[in-house]
Structure 1
Amino acid sequence: MILVAALRRLATAVATLFGVAVVVFVLLRVVPGDPVAMMIAPGASPADIAALRARYGLDAPIFTQFWIWLGDLLHGDFGTSISLKLNVLDVLAERLPATLELAIAALVVALAIGGAIAIFGVILRRTLAESLLDAVDGFMLAIPDFVWALAFVLLLGVLWPVFPLSGRIDPTLTVAFATRFYLIESLVTGRFAVFADILSHMVMPTLALALPLAAIVARVLKQALAEAMVQDYVLLARLKGMSETRLVLQETLRNAVGPTLALTGVQFTFLIGGTVIVERIFAYPGIGNMAIDAVINRDLPLIQGLVLVFGALFILVNIAVDLGVAALNPRLRHG
């Protein structure tokens, strides 16, 4: 059943991506602004402008442009970036690993912080400590990620310069990487000094992205744990003398993971989108930072490639979450 559901979701994903491609392609060509006008030198002749438009296929009707672009896309050709003069697919392949490492690190931190707040909140329920944890959770939820980013820049980058303010790695380090996953590769290959430097560059943007998500995880998990704590099997375990900590960790936590996993997956897709502003603040070389430059420069091929990548990531994450929830819930697995 899980395999059938996965195939059904993949078929839906193809249709969804096609719809995304149509919408972004049309919208980019009807909004005001001409990318050629931003590229051409002052005093260029009409013939030069026409030649440049023909080079990027902007002189044909929108319908013709779309089918040419779609045909190239099916052959793995995302086009050439207008502003960078590079192949869009190569640019995306170079920048995407940085964003993925940042987003996954933020997710891990969010799950750790949010899970700890939820578990301790249930164990210490009806005490002053629970009220304090709820206040901390509300405080993290009320502040958006870009405000956290600016606060960390001021506190940990300027007033108390503990972590680097920008970039992904110290430019003075001459290190050769076989992949673009710098953090993972440096850890696997045992270059711990490089790993520590890359990690230090990721601390502030990771925390900025993780704290709002951690607050959501804490609220959902705590509610699920509280509902599980009043079930009959928990009452029976309590009568047998099991401590509150063991009740939460051994009896109720596994039953509360399902709803938390489902919501966390949805929020993770928004977290990937949230990297756009946070990466810009920290000059982090990911696809989020590049997306802002692409919009400013009206780089149509690059924007189209970025939107498709974001759309594919959202769809794949949602499919993975649905399969994970189904695997954890026997009723969904066999239903």
Structure 2
Amino acid sequence: MLMKRYIIKRLLLLIPVLFGVSIIVFVVVRLAPGDPARILAGEHASPEYVEAMRTKWQLDKPLYIQYLVWLRNLLRGDLGRSIATRSPVLEEILQRFPATLELSIAAMLFAIVVGIAAGVTAAVKQYSFWDYFSMTGALFGVSMPVFWLGLMLMFIFGLELDWLPVSGRIDVGVNLKVITGLYLLDSLLTLNKTAFLSALSHLILPSIALGTIPMALIARMTRSAMLEVIRQDFIRTERAKGLPEKMVIYKHALKNALIPIVTVIGMEFGLLLGGAILTETVFSWPGLGRYTVDAVYARDYPAIQGAVLFIAFVFVVVNLATDVLYAYLNPRIRYQ
């Protein structure tokens, strides 16, 4: 009952958060230089046509009126129409989001597996070669810019070695029946081996580039949390009972160290889902991040506002799911 009340409270907090985000985005977008009516009409349009576009899109109204009109439509589930494509913004976002979701899941799986393994190894073998090697690698992982790492991966594994593709989600000419928008899942559901291998090969490089920084953060947090846990009395007791070392480390120590690790995973996954802008741009990945960049270049107000608001919503929901997971991992936690 207490958990249910907490979840409802957090869901209600979504309303002021998203309301605040909507105001900030709406104002900041309109502070950018340039005339959106001129962009809508075209560079060589007549002044009369520019004014017609200004009236049609209600750009001649005061700023607060424009916001209230947009907010009214938003409450109806209408994010407006893209200025560049004339298509509904919500429809375009939902078409692009599966690509970002698939990339984010792959990147986070890479980060979790490699990061936790490196962190546990570094903690168990503290001050050894593996400890210094893992933490040095984590330091480089945090320090490397995503765009630079992406370009290096493309150059080495795509151009020099020609092992993996460097752009897109699937090879041209490969037929795939899209069901969920997640190409790996769709290829498994349709038993399409060719499409699965093609989609997987396209996913490897961008997921490594995107997952490197979360991997480094998870490795450092895992090491810190594990060092704190393995020094506690109950770990000494488990070892005194004669339990195998692997069971002591992975079943008892790691389980009790998961709370801070889950915090990092939840926050990083929310950021990845919010739109891996640099990674998607470098690898020409047709996701939400690249959609947002294209909207900014085109001064597409409805698309920018809709994408940022959707990103904020996803981030808050992921954080809520992370908080709920705390209680599952540690029943002693109680929310007030």
- Scaled by the length of structure 2, what TM-score is found? 0.95
Cα distance in 2 for partners of 1:43, 1:109 equals 49
State whether residues 37 and 51 of structure 2, in contact with CA within 8 Å, keep that contact through their aligned partners in structure 1: no
Structure 2: gaps (5+ residues):
none
RMSD: 1.6
State whether residues 123 and 244 of structure 1, in contact with CA within 8 Å, keep that contact through their aligned partners in structure 2: no
Matches within 5 A, 1:115-154: 115-154=116-155
The 1:43–1:204 alpha-carbon spacing in structure 2 relative to 1, beyond 3 Å, is closer
Moved more, 177-186 or 87-96: 177-186
**Residues 92-144 of structure 1: per-residue CA shift (max 9 Å, x gap):** 11101100111111111100000110122223223222222222222222213
SS of residue in 2 equivalent to 1:332: coil
Corresponding residue of 1:51: 52
Corresponding residue of 1:313: 314
The 1:136–1:44 alpha-carbon spacing in structure 2 relative to 1, beyond 3 Å, is closer
Say whether residues 1:20 and 2:21 are aligned partners: yes
Cα distance in 2 for partners of 1:129, 1:285 equals 38
Q: Between Structure 1 and Structure 2, how many residues are aligned?
A: 335
Corresponding residue of 1:112: 113
Structure 1: gaps (5+ residues):
none
Corresponding residue of 1:189: 190
Moved more, 282-291 or 37-46: 37-46
**Residues 130-187 of structure 1: per-residue CA shift (max 9 Å, x gap):** 2222222222222132221111011111111111111111121233313322221212
Cα distance in 2 for partners of 1:252, 1:43 equals 68
Cα distance in 2 for partners of 1:288, 1:147 equals 17
- Scaled by the length of structure 1, what TM-score is found? 0.95
How high is the sequence identity, in percent, across the aligned residues? Answer: 35
Cα distance in 2 for partners of 1:313, 1:151 equals 30
Cα distance in 1 for partners of 2:250, 2:112 equals 15
Corresponding residue of 1:293: 294
Cα distance in 1 for partners of 2:184, 2:56 equals 39
Cα distance in 2 for partners of 1:246, 1:132 equals 24
Cα distance in 1 for partners of 2:137, 2:248 equals 24
Cα distance in 1 for partners of 2:152, 2:305 equals 33
Cα distance in 2 for partners of 1:128, 1:196 equals 36
CA shift, 1:240, in A, is 2.7
Cα distance in 1 for partners of 2:85, 2:330 equals 48
State whether residues 209 and 274 of structure 1, in contact with CA within 8 Å, keep that contact through their aligned partners in structure 2: no
Corresponding residue of 2:223: 222
Corresponding residue of 1:163: 164
State whether residues 145 and 274 of structure 1, in contact with CA within 8 Å, keep that contact through their aligned partners in structure 2: no
The 1:103–1:43 alpha-carbon spacing in structure 2 relative to 1, beyond 3 Å, is closer
CA shift, 1:334, in A, is 6.4
Corresponding residue of 2:31: 30
